Amino acid sequence: MKKFKFTISGNQYEAEIVSIDDTIAEVSVNGTLYTVEVDRSIPLTKTPTLVRTMAVPSTDAHPSLSKTHSPGAPKGTGTIKSPLPGVILELHVREGDTVKIGQKLITLEAMKMENNINADKEGRVTSLKVGKGDSVMEGDVLLVIGE
């Protein structure tokens, strides 16, 4: 636990507190183990452990999956997710609309600023998951684009 170096009457000692259990401590002095009774209970200090949650990307694909399509796979399918927490101000598309890459889909208010969410894929809007005035969190699915 803790190591100390002492010099008493010219003699050097290396002491280490091995363990403390209420009022009984095990102390090693120059390699010899001693059991010592302490007058008062010594509080054991704990170092807090920093726990961080795993960051979840806001993209559709898992990092191990390829982000390109194979020639036979359907093009432009997937979800559009919220890049920030905020409130939906306006929907610029409806279910069944055909969208192109770069087309404005939704206006999102986040941190008192209006943010346009544009299509990053082509296709038809198969379902809207949000409505005007809805609050969304980062990574929430806003709409689904299909073939």
Closest CA to 143 of 67, 84, 91, 102: 91
Residue type, 118: N
Q: Where are the domains of the chain?
A: 2-37, 78-146
**Cα-atom radius of gyration of the chain, to the nearest Å?**
31
Q: What is the pairing mode between strands 86-91 and 24-29? A: unpaired
Kindly report, residue by residue over 16-61, the tens digit of the pLDDT.
988 888 788 898 988 899 998 887 756 666 777 777 776 655 555 5
Length of the chain: 147
Which pLDDT belongs to residue 90? 94
Q: Yes or no: is domain 78-146 CATH 2.40.50.100?
A: yes
**22: helix, coil or strand?**
coil
CB 136 within 8 A of CB 108: yes
